């Protein structure tokens, strides 16, 4: 039998790498196309061919004519997509249009990985995030093209995939994030209300389905999901009872309709159970030593002297009453020293005499205060709300004590800074463990920083920092400012 050539876009990703391993094992000639936006070279499978590039350049990068295309290479995070619509458009709309054009030219079979968000909340959730909207539009593009051109195709729908090789961090999956919080000893974070239902499906069940659909499937509506659903709060409780509820998020659907009729007609059914997977993980890994629910924050000013970034921080603290925030800020105004904290879970440490000049003292006096506090508490991490004077104090603390530092760029314009401010910013960005901003901000920050990546692990507080930063970004975005 002639060896089949199979193209997998997103082949270095969580699902793609698992699929490639199975295809290589079955004797196929497999080509991966991945731009490594979220994929990893560590996931490469011996025997597969890897091409590095964007799907919009598929015609140049893949001159071969494959027998089958599995198109998995798209942006794949629902809530994060609300903060990154331009990236979603580039990867999901522009990239997939090029894949469809390539498919039309080569006249092979296409299996498209659609998203179950299309069916969330009776179909309403497809309009609540750029991810959901572009994925739904792409399923319709594939279907219309296949029917009009007489091309073989199949559209699958994944439901909350988990298993070996999951990602963590900003583009991480829920189960892997829970696992990392468990290992680190940090509380598990659950987005309110917690009653959102999910059909968690093991990655090997997904791969089983993709193989069957690739061989025998034709048309739309191949739902690949476990019939058993869990609420997010029920899932978190499988890891224990140390849980923090987060504010609701835009794009967070409550449920999704699951129809596996066509997949079951091919002989497919989900075989693996989430509870068994989590139990096996917990039995093999003791929980990390419990950390304080405490974060050290640097802010140039704070209540009652505040702007959008500080106001968003205040909203975040009100929404997370079980987390303690220790805030170091310049006094900046005389009235500040007489102003108590506006929320019970925040303690404010002000430096200076109550003048605008105080911000220049913050890198030094703020650092000294932070050193004393860090000896008294085991913070999850330190956080500079903006890359400004408080961030310099954070850099000094990190250099002297190793305390992990997160910087959010908030509403800053990095493109129009003077040379000396750019020099200070370069110092801050190069020393921080994680830097987050809007698309344009991160591009400017990347050019200024001496590091290869703006984000690296901050250890014990990693997963918790990501969820907290995301909640803060949402509050800031709601104020009509650039997101952090």
For the CA atoms of 171, 175, 178, 184, the dihedral, rounded to the nearest 10 degrees, stands at -80
pLDDT digit string, tens, across residues 311-343: 889 988 988 888 999 999 999 888 888 888 999
Average pLDDT, integer, range 81-99: 89
Local structure of 329: helix, strand or coil: strand
Q: Which whole number is the average pLDDT over 283-300?
A: 90
Domains in the chain with CATH codes: 5-160+200-228+252-270 (3.40.50.720), 294-478 (3.40.50.2000)
Q: Which pLDDT tens digit goes with each residue over 211-238?
A: 999 999 999 999 999 999 999 999 999 9
Q: Which tens digits make up the pLDDT trace of 403-450?
A: 889 988 876 777 777 777 778 888 888 888 888 776 667 677 777 776
Q: Report the predicted TM-score, pTM, of the whole model to 2 decimal places.
A: 0.80
Separation of alpha carbons 23 and 19, rounded Å: 6
Instruction: Give 343's DSSP letter.
Output: S
pLDDT of residue 482 exceeding 50: no
Which tens digit of pLDDT belongs to each residue from 337-373?
A: 888 899 999 999 999 999 999 999 999 999 999 999 9
Span 14-50, pLDDT tens digits: 999 999 999 999 999 999 999 998 888 999 999 999 9
Closest CA to 29 of 50, 1, 5: 5
Share of the chain above pLDDT 90, in %: 56
Check whether 124 has a pLDDT greater than 70: no
- Specify the pLDDT at position 180: 87
| Confidence (pLDDT) at 296 | 96
Cα distance between residue 374 and residue 83, in whole Å? 32
pLDDT over 80 at 253, yes or no = no
Tokens 């509870």, residue located: 275
The position carrying tokens 């829920």 is 174
- Burial letters 14-24, b for 16+ CB under 10 A, else e: bbbbbbbbbbb
Matching residue, tokens 């250890």: 459
Sign of CA dihedral 246, 251, 253, 258: negative
Report the candidate in 383, 371, 375, 380 with the shortest Cα–Cα distance to residue 291: 380
Cβ atoms of 444 and 370 within 8 Å: the answer is: no
Q: In a 10 Å sphere around its CB, with 0-12 CB exposed, 13-18 middle and 19+ buried, how is residue 394 labelled?
A: buried
């Amino acid at each position: 039998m002639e060896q089949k050539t199979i193209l997998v876009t997103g082949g270095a990703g969580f699902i793609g790498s698992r699929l490639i391993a199975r295809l290589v094992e079955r004797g196929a000639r497999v080509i991966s196309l991945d731009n490594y936006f979220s994929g990893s070279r560590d996931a490469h499978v011996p025997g597969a061919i890897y091409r590095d590039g964007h799907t919009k350049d598929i015609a140049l990068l893949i001159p071969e004519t494959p027998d089958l295309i599995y198109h998995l290479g798209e942006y794949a995070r629902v809530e994060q997509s609300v903060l990154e619509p331009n990236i979603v458009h580039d990867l999901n709309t522009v990239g997939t249009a090029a894949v469809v054009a390539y498919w039309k030219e080569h006249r092979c079979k296409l299996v498209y990985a659609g998203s179950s968000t299309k069916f969330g909340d009776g179909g309403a959730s497809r309009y609540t995030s750029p991810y959901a909207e572009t994925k739904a539009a792409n399923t319709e593009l594939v279907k219309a093209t296949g029917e009009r051109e007489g091309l073989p195709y199949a559209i699958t729908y994944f439901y909350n995939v988990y298993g070996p090789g999951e990602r963590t961090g900003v583009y991480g999956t829920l189960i892997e994030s829970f696992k990392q919080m468990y290992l680190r000893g940090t509380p598990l974070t659950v987005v309110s209300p917690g009653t959102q239902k999910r059909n968690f499906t093991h990655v090997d069940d997904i791969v089983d389905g993709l193989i069957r659909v690739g061989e025998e499937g034709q048309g739309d509506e191949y739902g690949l999901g476990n019939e058993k659903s869990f609420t997010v709060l029920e899932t978190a409780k499988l890891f224990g009872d140390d849980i923090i509820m987060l504010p609701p998020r835009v794009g967070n659907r409550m449920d999704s309709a699951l129809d596996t009729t066509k997949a079951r007609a091919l002989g497919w059914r989900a075989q693996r159970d989430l509870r068994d997977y989590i139990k096996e993980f917990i039995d093999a890994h003791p929980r990390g030593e419990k950390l304080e629910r405490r974060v050290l924050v640097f802010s140039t000013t704070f209540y009652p002297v505040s702007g959008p970034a500080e106001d968003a921080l205040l909203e975040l603290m009100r929404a997370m009453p079980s987390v303690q925030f220790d805030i170091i800020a310049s006094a900046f105004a005389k009235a500040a020293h007489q102003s108590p904290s506006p929320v019970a879970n925040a303690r404010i440490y002000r430096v200076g005499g109550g003048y605008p000049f105080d911000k220049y003292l913050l890198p030094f006096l703020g650092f000294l205060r932070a050193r004393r506090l860090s000896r008294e508490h085991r913070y999850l991490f330190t956080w500079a709300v903006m890359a400004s004077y408080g961030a310099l104090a954070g850099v000094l603390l990190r250099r002297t004590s190793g305390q992990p530092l997160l910087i959010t760029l908030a509403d800053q314009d990095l493109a129009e800074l003077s040379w000396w401010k750019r020099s200070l910013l370069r110092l801050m960005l190069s020393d921080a463990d994680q830097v987050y901003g809007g698309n344009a901000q991160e591009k400017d920050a990347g050019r200024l920083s001496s590091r290869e990546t703006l984000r690296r692990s901050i250890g014990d507080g990693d997963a918790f920092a990501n969820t907290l930063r995301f909640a803060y970004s949402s509050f800031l975005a709601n104020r009509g400012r650039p997101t952090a």
